Amino acid sequence: MAPETNPDEVGMAGRRMSRRKALRYLGGGAVGVAVLGMGGVWTLERSARLGSREAEKVKKARIVVAGGSIGGLTVAARFLRAVPDAEIVVIEPKEEHHYQPGYTLVAAGVYEETDVVFAQAPLFLPGMRWIKDSVARFEPERNRLVTSGGTLVEYDFLVVGLGVEMDLGSVEGLAEALETGYAGNSYMLPYGRKFRDLAASLPSGGRALFTYPKGYVKCGGAPQKICWLSEDKWRSEGRRQDMEVHFLTPQSSVFPVVPVIDEIVKPMMEARGIQHHFHHELKAIDVSTRTAIFLEESENGTTREHRMKYDLIHPMGRFRTPAALRQSALTADGIGGQLEVNRETLQHKRFPNVFGVGDCCATGAPKTAATIRKQAPAVVGNLIDAILDRPLGHLYDGTSGCPLLTRHGRCMMFEFDFQGQLVNEWLYQSTKETRLWWEFKVHGLKRLYREVMLNGYV
């Protein structure tokens, strides 16, 4: 937090508001969280009422969750709310829990690192048994897995929530570039902090590049959010006019996944003088000459090299699932090492006692915590159905959400479905940049994540 100069002001690194105003927003966040929590309790009550014989059967099942981040822990917590006194094993190597949706705000200078990191242990509710280790090998044919420490873990049912990671080897020179004084990245906390500092000192007349990777992307909005927020900051500091800001993506537009939003943000990018380059994939970075090398694909499929010098780059590599998953029988050809699940039931297509949640799943849904909030009830409901030998009766409808931070103090909030159609537009006023959703993103969503999701009230 920035040092407090006036006791009547509270600050989020560089942004100040009156204490009364802050309390009002925090109060609004608390009310929102309370309402969502109550909604979660209500749906839990309705969806997971079990008779005592059923509950006994469910309690006897040996359930293992691989990965204890927001996906794995939300499923485990919701399961324990539905079946108190049960036990569920969670395998997770990290002692720190990272609130990744806050990473963009760290890189943009709104949050401090301490706002997004908290201890893992208190997140484990009674009934969760934590194996502090990582999965080294899945053996789904034998209903078991082996950890890096050599522990053999057998299960009746497995939930996989291993997430995805950026593959720094996917772009030549990327790892090297991140160690120089000209590159940072909001996806990895230390590089996010570094980006914030480099952006603050970028000289006027400098050229900044923001890139977007090919393939599936964790939070597909984040690479442009940091572009929007940086551009806005440079503008508000009066440094923007001599600067060049470029957004380069292999996609065909700025936000093609949701056409209605794309129709707004593409002209907005043009109006703000951010030069967009479509069909551009970052292939390499030459750190010695500070040059980013892109492969530009034309409409007829031919490619050409496009080289651009930079003074600051926010480079993105491709994403992949952790080795234990992508090298296992749980994935399949053509799905990039992701978990092969039915996109609605989240049940594995070949191993019916295996379910998935979150980023590691091949559902085609956006890889966001907002997706997990909608998936977790389906996973838990179907897990219980499977244990009780019932047909699976819970479907994830493909809905996800995005708080698109378009400038400091403004956010477009929208939910959309598998087809890229907006959902609940009346509630979000999705096509507008509003102060309200900015405040909710900065003050409310972390509470929703921490208090509602991680406590299983989804």
Ligand X SMILES: Cc1cc2nc3c(=O)[nH]c(=O)nc-3n(C[C@H](O)[C@H](O)[C@H](O)COP(=O)(O)OP(=O)(O)OC[C@H]3O[C@@H](n4cnc5c(N)ncnc54)[C@H](O)[C@@H]3O)c2cc1C
Residues that bind ligand X (CB under 6 A): 66-72, 91-94, 100-101, 103-104, 134-135, 161-163, 186-187, 218-219, 222, 322, 324, 358-359, 367-370, 372, 403
Reduce the DSSP state of residue 61 to 3 states and report it. coil
Looking at beta carbons only, is 109 or 240 nearer to ligand X? 109
Closest of 209, 135, 214 to residue 167, by C-alpha? 214
Closest of 409, 402, 417 to residue 438, by C-alpha? 409
Looking at beta carbons only, is 91 or 313 nearer to ligand X? 91
Quote the CA–CA distance of 159 and 347 in Å, as a whole number.
Answer: 9
Looking at beta carbons only, is 138 or 234 nearer to ligand X? 138
Quote the CA–CA distance of 351 and 42 in Å, as a whole number.
Answer: 31
Min dist CB 402 to ligand X, Å, is 7
Looking at beta carbons only, is 163 or 290 nearer to ligand X? 163
Min dist CB 193 to ligand X, Å, is 13
Closest of 216, 221, 171 to residue 416, by C-alpha? 221
Looking at beta carbons only, is 55 or 212 nearer to ligand X? 212
Min dist CB 198 to ligand X, Å, is 16
Closest of 104, 101, 405, 414 to residue 261, by C-alpha? 414
Quote the CA–CA distance of 55 and 258 in Å, as a whole number.
Answer: 42
Looking at beta carbons only, is 58 or 222 nearer to ligand X? 222
What six digits make up the tokens of 124? Answer: 């484990």
Closest of 171, 179, 315, 192 to residue 247, by C-alpha? 315
Quote the CA–CA distance of 368 and 406 in Å, as a whole number.
Answer: 18
Q: Beta 291-297 vs 303-309: how paired, if at all?
A: antiparallel
Phi-psi region of 424 (alpha: psi -120 to 50; beta: other; left: phi over 0): left
Quote the CA–CA distance of 445 and 221 in Å, as a whole number.
Answer: 16
Quote the CA–CA distance of 51 and 178 in Å, as a whole number.
Answer: 56
Min dist CB 389 to ligand X, Å, is 28
Min dist CB 324 to ligand X, Å, is 4
Min dist CB 388 to ligand X, Å, is 26
Beta pairing partners, 11? 16
Cα–Cα distances in Å, from 320 out to 49, 213, 402? 38, 12, 21
Q: Which amino acid is at 262?
A: D
Quote the CA–CA distance of 313 and 247 in Å, as a whole number.
Answer: 10
Min dist CB 284 to ligand X, Å, is 23
What six digits make up the tokens of 171? Answer: 């772009």
Quote the CA–CA distance of 9 and 145 in Å, as a whole number.
Answer: 52
Min dist CB 137 to ligand X, Å, is 9
Tell the residue number behind the tokens 């990327």, with chain if given. Answer: 174
Helices (H), 219-305: 222-236, 259-271
Looking at beta carbons only, is 55 or 355 nearer to ligand X? 355
What residues act catalytically?
219, 402
| Secondary structure tally for the chain: helices H, strands E | 13, 24
- Length reported for the chain: 458
Looking at beta carbons only, is 37 or 403 nearer to ligand X? 403
